[in-house]
Amino acid sequence: LTRVRVDGSELGHEQEQTLGYQQPDRVGLMRVPRNANGRDYFVGDVQGELELLKRLLVAVNFDPDRDRLFSVGDLVDRGSDSWGVLQFAMSSPWLYSVLGNHEVMAAECFLGRRDADPLSDQAWTASVPRCEIQSAITFLLSRPPAIEVESASQRVGLIHGELPLGSSWSDLAECRFDWADADPKSTDRVVGSLLWGRQRLHQLTSALRQGVPIGDAAPDPAVGIDLIAAGHTVLRLNGFRPTLISGHLWLDTGAGNTDGRLTMVDLEAKTYLQVGRNSKVVCGRLLF
Ligand SMILES: [Mn+2]
Separation of alpha carbons 102 and 122, rounded Å:
9
Apex 74 CA angle, 73 and 79, nearest 5: 145
How many angstroms is it from 104 CA to the middle of ligand 1? 10
Give the contacts of 68 (CB within 8 A, at least 6 positions apart).
Answer: 32, 35, 38, 39, 40, 41, 94, 95, 96
pLDDT for 14 equals 46
Neighbours of 147 (CB within 10 A): 23
CA–centroid distance, 233 to ligand 1, in Å, is 7
**Cα-based torsion angle of the residue sequence 56, 59, 65, 67 in order, rounded to the nearest 10 degrees:** -70
Q: What is the pLDDT of residue 185?
A: 55
Q: What is the pLDDT of residue 89?
A: 98
Check pLDDT > 60 for residue 274.
Answer: yes
Give the pLDDT of residue 2.
Answer: 39
Residue 231 C-alpha to ligand 1 middle, in angstroms? 7
Predicted TM-score (pTM) of the model is 0.90
Tell me: pLDDT of 212 over 90.
no
As a whole number of angstroms, the distance between CA 40 and CA 35 comes to: 7
Q: How far apart are the CA of 78 and the centre of ligand 1, in A?
A: 11
Q: For residue 24, how far is its CA from the centre of ligand 1 (angstroms)? A: 21
Distance CA 105, CA 122 (A): 8
pLDDT in tens, 30-54: 999 999 999 999 999 999 999 999 9
Residue 18 is predicted with a pLDDT of: 46
CA of 18 to the centre of ligand 1 (A): 31
Distance 88 CA to ligand 1 centre (A): 19
Q: Is the pLDDT of residue 16 over 80?
A: no
Q: With b meaning 16 or more CB within 10 Å and e meaning fewer, what string describes 70-100?
A: bbbbbbbbbbbbbbbbbbbbeeeebbbbbbb
What distance in angstroms lies between residue 32's CA and the mean position of ligand 1's atoms? 23
Reduced to 3 states (helix: H, G, I; strand: E, B; else coil), residue 16 is: helix
Residue 15 binned pLDDT confidence (cut-offs 50, 70, 90): very low
54 C-alpha to ligand 1 centroid (Å): 21
